[in-house]
Structure 1
Amino acid sequence: MRAGYPAGPDPHIAFVREDVTPRTPGVCEACLRTRSRWVHLRLCLTCGQVGCCDSSPNRHARRHAALVGHPIVRSAEPGEHWRWCYVDESFA
């Protein structure tokens, strides 16, 4: 159970679009522009922005979520099938 929410699905799931596709498959958009490196990639499930994870130097996926209000990402790594909500800091 998330703090402040009743048991049940993450209320931010409403932001998830089923038809979202990566805008830059296999690369972090912002790292590509700034010639930075990344560790792992995350896909915004609202707009398709690909950003780097919190273990990466610039944490672009989290920054994107905070700046534009798109709370849920999924791993863009091969073989990983999980989603994360930055608002609730929990799996979604």
Structure 2
Amino acid sequence: MSENRGIPGVDPSVPPSGDGCVECLAGDGPGWWFHLRRCAACGRIGCCDSSPGQHASRHARQSGHPFLASYEPDEDWLWNVETEQFTSGPRLAPPTHHPTTQPVPGPEGHVPADWQGLLR
């Protein structure tokens, strides 16, 4: 894993793992998300803490990869799960967000009609 700008645990060369939350798409949990987050160390895509599965933060804690980036269009930030603070960092490898045709919440066809009441 490379280090950049003095931020251990951020590898800007690693591409994202896909277009959606790895665990939700694999059937772990309810199978849908509100927003997506990207691990800045390994590229794994997970769902945000408002989503029922909260897979991104779980991955960060279990793997020791503390930095998560937004995987939403027009958002450019890093969140440190350990310190609970935003930080700036290097631009990550593209793509930097899920496809703009992908609905939010997503994935299409898996979001329950009462999704707003299910957010954390």
- TM-score w.r.t. the length of structure 2 is 0.64
Cα distance in structure 2, aligned partners of 1:55 and 1:47: 22
Cα displacement (A) at 1:18: 1.5
Cα distance in structure 1, aligned partners of 2:46 and 2:68: 9
Q: Which has the higher helix share?
A: 1
1:28 aligned onto 2:21:
yes
Q: Percent identity?
A: 46
Equivalent positions of 1:1-92 (< 5 A) are 13-24=7-18, 26-34=19-27, 36-92=31-87
- TM-score w.r.t. the length of structure 1 is 0.83
Give the number of equivalent residue pairs.
Answer: 80
Cα distance in structure 1, aligned partners of 2:63 and 2:33: 21
Larger radius of gyration: 2
Cα distance in structure 2, aligned partners of 1:63 and 1:70: 10
Q: Which ranges of structure 2 fall in alignment gaps of 5 or more residues?
A: 1-5, 88-120
Cα displacement (A) at 1:70: 0.3
Q: Which ranges of structure 1 fall in alignment gaps of 5 or more residues?
A: 1-10
Runs of 4+ displaced beyond 6 Å? none
